């Protein structure tokens, strides 16, 4: 149930939430911010994940189901003024609802189950918007897990959380894992490790994707480092039939993940 309206950006509650925009505080407090109704709605569906909720009066009236779900889960709801919400939000036009959530990190060995058939691995992916979109795509394609290696962006970065459109709360996400350890476990689980890169000798059209597969995606600007390409079972490129030089990371990931999902379902 909402308390009296928070109107001061100097409030301790506001300061404690706002500092979660920085990774050091997210790591220390083991918490992050989920902004917008879609992310908050999905967070509330996981018991014990949402710590507290901030909402403007207008957003509360526009999203009564979210307010009801928070109340049913016993999540404290803080009524926030527009100024306070603007201080907390990381978007130009805040949607008026924001949650503080507990980190969802799942150990690699638990994220990649023994029966996993499709996994997305982000290696050296630094752009949070791209990373969040790949996470969302992996969820849509039915992937079993997503792994962010230790050289990639923090999946709890505000932009990454928003770009995932709630998918962060749908499937296991392992973070901060060394690439070598990730590959070793993937192979132990029986997955074939394919690196998506324009340097691949074979294209998606030439590769059998019907078996358990882990796709490795790299930095959009410079691709995957040579040492990672060397670790993969095969380097595969997305065929370009038109005049475009390449596809952006999120689009290439969507093509690869859906190619595997379709091949596995047709098997």
- Whether pLDDT at 4 is above 70: no
Whether residues 116 and 220 share a domain: the answer is: yes
The overall average pLDDT reported for the chain is 93
Whether residues 39 and 115 share a domain: the answer is: no
Which pair of structure tokens corresponds to residue 154? 């923090």
Provide the whole-model pTM: 0.91
| Residue 156 placed within a domain | yes
pLDDT at residue 198, rounded to an integer:
85
Whether residues 81 and 112 share a domain: the answer is: no
| Residue 1 placed within a domain | no
Whether residues 66 and 171 share a domain: the answer is: no
Whether residues 97 and 115 share a domain: the answer is: no
CB-CB neighbours of 197 under 10 Å: 19
Query: 80-83 contacts: CB < 8 A, separation 24 or more?
Result: 80/5, 80/6, 80/14, 80/54, 80/55, 80/56, 81/5, 81/6, 81/7, 81/56, 82/56, 83/7, 83/9
Cβ atoms 90, 80 nearer than 8 A? no
- Beta-carbon contacts of residue 64 (< 8 Å; ≥ 6 apart): none
Whether residues 127 and 28 share a domain: the answer is: no
More confident residue, 9 or 52: 52
| Residue 2 placed within a domain | no
pLDDT at residue 18, rounded to an integer:
95
Domain that holds residue 148: 108-266
pLDDT at residue 3, rounded to an integer:
55
What CATH number is associated with residue 256?
3.40.1280.10
pLDDT at residue 39, rounded to an integer:
95
More confident residue, 246 or 140: 140
- Whether pLDDT at 153 is above 80: yes
Whether residues 122 and 49 share a domain: the answer is: no
User: Where is average pLDDT lowest: 15-19, 120-124, 176-180, 223-227?
Assistant: 223-227
Pairing of strands 192-196, 173-177: unpaired
Whether residues 43 and 143 share a domain: the answer is: no
- Whether pLDDT at 113 is above 90: yes
Q: Assign 245 a pLDDT band (cuts: 50, 70, 90).
A: confident
pLDDT at residue 213, rounded to an integer:
97
Whether residues 205 and 126 share a domain: the answer is: yes
Give tens-digit pLDDT for 132-145.
Answer: 999 999 999 999 99
> What is the number of structural domains in the chain?
2
Q: What average pLDDT does this structure show over 180-200?
A: 94
pLDDT at residue 220, rounded to an integer:
77
Cβ atoms 5, 80 nearer than 8 A? yes
Measured CA to CA, the distance from residue 189 to residue 200 in angstroms comes to 24
Whether residues 39 and 125 share a domain: the answer is: no
Whether residues 76 and 121 share a domain: the answer is: no
CB-CB neighbours of 85 under 10 Å: 23
First to last CA, the chain: 51
Give tens-digit pLDDT for 206-224.
Answer: 999 999 999 999 987 777 8
Measured CA to CA, the distance from residue 89 to residue 21 in angstroms comes to 9
Q: What share of the chain is helix, strand, coil (3-state, %, to 5)?
A: 40, 20, 40
What CATH number is associated with residue 79?
3.30.1330.30
- Whether pLDDT at 234 is above 70: yes
Measured CA to CA, the distance from residue 198 to residue 246 in angstroms comes to 8
pLDDT at residue 114, rounded to an integer:
94
- Whether pLDDT at 2 is above 70: no
Q: What average pLDDT does this structure show over 49-59?
A: 95
Whether residues 66 and 148 share a domain: the answer is: no
């Amino acid at each position: 149930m909402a308390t009296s309206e928070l109107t001061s950006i100097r409030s301790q509650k506001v300061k404690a939430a706002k500092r979660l925009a920085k990774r050091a505080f997210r790591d220390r407090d083991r918490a992050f911010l989920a902004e917008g109704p879609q992310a908050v709605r999905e967070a509330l569906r996981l018991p014990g994940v949402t710590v507290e909720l901030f909402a403007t009066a207008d957003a509360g009236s526009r999203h009564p189901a979210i307010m009801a779900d928070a109340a049913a889960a016993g999540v404290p709801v803080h009524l926030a003024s527009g100024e306070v919400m603007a201080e907390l939000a990381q978007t130009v036009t805040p949607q008026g609802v924001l949650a503080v959530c507990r980190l969802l990190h799942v150990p690699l060995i638990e994220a990649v189950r023994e029966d996993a058939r499709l996994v997305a691995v982000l290696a050296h992916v630094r752009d949070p918007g791209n990373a969040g979109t790949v996470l969302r795509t992996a969820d849509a394609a039915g992937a079993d897990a997503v792994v962010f290696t230790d050289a990639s962006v923090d999946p709890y970065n505000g932009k990454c959380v928003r770009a995932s459109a709630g998918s962060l709360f749908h499937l296991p996400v392992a973070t901060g894992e060394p690439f070598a350890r990730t590959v070793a476990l993937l192979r132990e689980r029986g997955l074939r490790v394919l690196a998506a890169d324009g340097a691949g000798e074979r294209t998606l059209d030439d590769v059998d994707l019907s078996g358990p597969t882990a796709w490795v995606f790299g930095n959009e600007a410079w691709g995957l480092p040579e040492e990672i390409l060397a670790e993969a079972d095969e380097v595969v490129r997305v065929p370009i039939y038109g005049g475009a030089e390449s596809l952006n990371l999120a689009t290439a990931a969507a093509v690869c993940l859906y190619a595997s999902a379709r091949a596995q379902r047709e098997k």
